[in-house]
Amino acid sequence: MGAIVGFLGYGRMAQAISEGLDKSGLAPYKRQLASDVAKASLAKLREKRGFAEARDNVQLVAKSPIVVIAVKPHQVRGVLSEVGDGMAGKLVISIAAGVTLATLADHVHQEASIVRVIPNLPALIGEGVTLLAAQPKTDEHDLENARKVFSAVGEVYDVPESLFNEGTAVSGSGPAYFFLVMEAMVRAAVRLGIPWDLARKLVAKTCQGAGATAMARPGIGLAELRDQVTSPGGTTAEGLLALERGGLTSLFHDAVKAASDRGKALS
């Protein structure tokens, strides 16, 4: 990628993206900068990871052609009012949930390219999903660089910003839904006498395998994949019937809609 990537805020998500950029070789630590109000923990990480130093947010922006805004949503306006004018000519990527492109544009120099993304938690292990939307004027070179940054921690999908609340309710909140489903399966397995450790491994690996199979066979419908596991008169059919009696499908309709509505209310 070549350009220096600067992180405004170096918390959990920024550290994950930064590690992915280093591991993938797209931007090794020595081509990254970070600033954070938590100076002591940042200094430790800087020593360990070996990225260059920025005295403060203003200097970080001055030195970084690509700036990732990675503070909490309620901190974004404050940070941008401090550095907004220095953003002219920069590629500015915000990961802050619920902060729209229009809000970012209000606080950032108009000659900046602004991209908004929603990564998700598995970015921590390079298995994330990132939704990406940009201002219409953003050129292809900047868009490609923004996609590259997040491809270092998983898959990137261009999604119209008008679908961000809905998308966030799926991929942003999704890991929590699956953790809950996995926890329920582990408890059910333990109830039947399977030891905790083994139950967790069986469930997590089965979940991973099902996801990987769905990704590897995009031409096969999910219902067809399910049918492949369901023999007539067999065990899976009984399990699936119990899940449907409990209203699993309509529960997911309600859950995703509720999360999306909450996203709209918050933004």
Ligand X SMILES: NC(=O)c1ccc[n+]([C@@H]2O[C@H](COP(=O)([O-])OP(=O)(O)OC[C@H]3O[C@@H](n4cnc5c(N)ncnc54)[C@H](OP(=O)(O)O)[C@@H]3O)[C@@H](O)[C@H]2O)c1
Contacting residues toward ligand X, per CB under 6 A: 8-9, 11-14, 35-38, 57, 70-73, 75, 78-79, 95-97, 118-121, 172
Shortest distance (Å) from residue 119 CB to ligand X: 5
Closest CA to 150 of 176, 174, 170, 122: 122
Task: Specify the residue, 28 or 122, whose C-beta has the smaller distance to ligand X.
Answer: 122
**Shortest distance (Å) from residue 122 CB to ligand X:** 9
Quick one: which of 190, 205, 188, 176 has its CA closest to 243?
188
Structure tokens that stand for 84 in this block:
């907004």
Least Å distance between CB 227 and ligand X?
34
Minimum CB distance to ligand X smaller for 22 or for 36: 36
* 120 or 135: CB nearest ligand X: 120
State the minimum distance, in angstroms, from the CB of residue 94 to ligand X. Answer: 8
In the complex with ligand X, the residue whose CB is nearer, 27 or 83, is 83
- CB-closest chain residue to ligand X: 11
Output 126 or 230, the one with its CB closest to ligand X: 126
Q: Select 96 or 133, whichever has its Cβ closest to ligand X.
A: 96
Smaller CB distance to ligand X: residue 95 or 259?
Answer: 95
Say how far apart CA 77 and CA 104 lie, in whole Å: 8
Tracing tokens 């630590």 back to the chain, one arrives at 29
To ligand X, the closest distance from the beta carbon of 68 in angstroms equals 10
Virtual torsion, Cα 61, 65, 71, 73, nearest 10 deg? 110
Residue 15 CB, nearest approach to ligand X (Å): 7
Token representation of residue 117: 């993304």
**Do residues 119 and 127 touch, judged by C-beta distance below 8 A?**
no
Please state, in angstroms and rounded to a whole number, the distance separating the CA atoms of residues 68 and 101.
Answer: 14
Least distance in Å: CB of 160 to ligand X? 18
